[in-house]
Amino acid sequence: MFEFFRNTFAQTRKKDIESMEGSQQQYPVLPPHTVAKAVVVFVQGVPFADLEQQHSEGLDRLAQLGCSGRLFPRLLPRDELGELLQILGIYGSLYDAEGKGPFLKDDVSFASLYKKFGSLKLGLLSNDPEVVALGESLRVPVVVHLQSGGDVEETTRQLAAAQEQVDLAFVHVKATADFPALALADQLVARLLTTKENKKPLVSVIAGHSSPASDEPKPNSKLYYPVQSAAVIDGKTSPLLPAGHLATYYHEGSTRRDDVQRFTEAEVKSKGANGNIAAEQFVAELAFKLGKTPKYGA
């Protein structure tokens, strides 16, 4: 009797395995890192009211397709340059505890600052002369000065040339009286989403200043609420500060999707599934998606 049940179980198990193997052939497993390139567009100096009032088809479409959240700083930068460098993940290496800087040394290069991001190669494109000068001083692999006055054709050409040389192309557009940063970002993203390239890049947009994360769960002595990875760096808890940014990203075939329909503060705050992210960990997350570093958090 025992022999009968053992043989029956063996036959059933064999059929289950064959069935599973057949399923695996029908639904192939994707490799752990399917992203080959990434493009980040950081729109600086655009108030949330503009995002709410203007109909930005490209940015809204990106938000609909992808996943959104909020970036928050640990240190409150004193200037716009510090704000950018915190998102690039190198603010703490160039500014002191009081927010003074940047302090540049002869032996400090972008390569030394970016060791934590593995072999990630970054390109920096900006319409801000100060940002371009800093990028050149740090010997960023690719630095491009956007001087077209917001012309999308020229910016697209410059971005395409940079993408051929780097893993992550970081486009920084600062709004000025003669540079329509929001309109340029909207058109640029629309083009990236409709590119005919076989390997489409991961596309991300960062913009504006968000309100404080006052709606986050608070610790309760009767409940166990674990410290989130966004609030931990180098093993130490460091609360996030108010005045952050909206951020959304999308990569065809590998990005989870939330219910955000417009790239606005209200939509991202209420429907975004990416939660809160430490601004200085943003590039680390992209480096992971590009297969350059281990994941820093959950």
Domain residue extents for the chain: 34-211+229-290
Q: Is the pLDDT of residue 66 over 90?
A: yes
Q: Is the pLDDT of residue 218 over 90?
A: no
Distance between CA 266 and CA 244 in Å, rounded? 14
Report residue 6's pLDDT band, with 50, 70 and 90 as the boundaries. Answer: very low
The rounded mean pLDDT for the chain is 80
Q: What is the pLDDT of residue 241?
A: 60
Is the Cβ–Cβ distance between 116 and 280 less than 8 Å? no
Q: What is the pLDDT of residue 34?
A: 59
Token pair listed for 105 = 């040394």
Report residue 2's pLDDT band, with 50, 70 and 90 as the boundaries. Answer: very low
Q: pTM of the prediction?
A: 0.79
- Reported as a single tens digit per residue, the pLDDT across 145-193 is 999 889 999 999 999 999 999 999 999 999 999 999 999 999 999 999 9
Q: Give all strands (DSSP E) within 214-270, no chain letters.
A: 232-233, 236-237, 245-250
Q: Is the pLDDT of residue 58 over 60?
A: yes
Distance between CA 215 and CA 227 in Å, rounded? 15
- Reported as a single tens digit per residue, the pLDDT across 228-281 is 555 555 555 555 566 689 999 999 888 889 999 999 999 999 999 998 888 888
The CATH number of 34-211+229-290 is 3.40.720.10
Distance between CA 46 and CA 136 in Å, rounded? 26
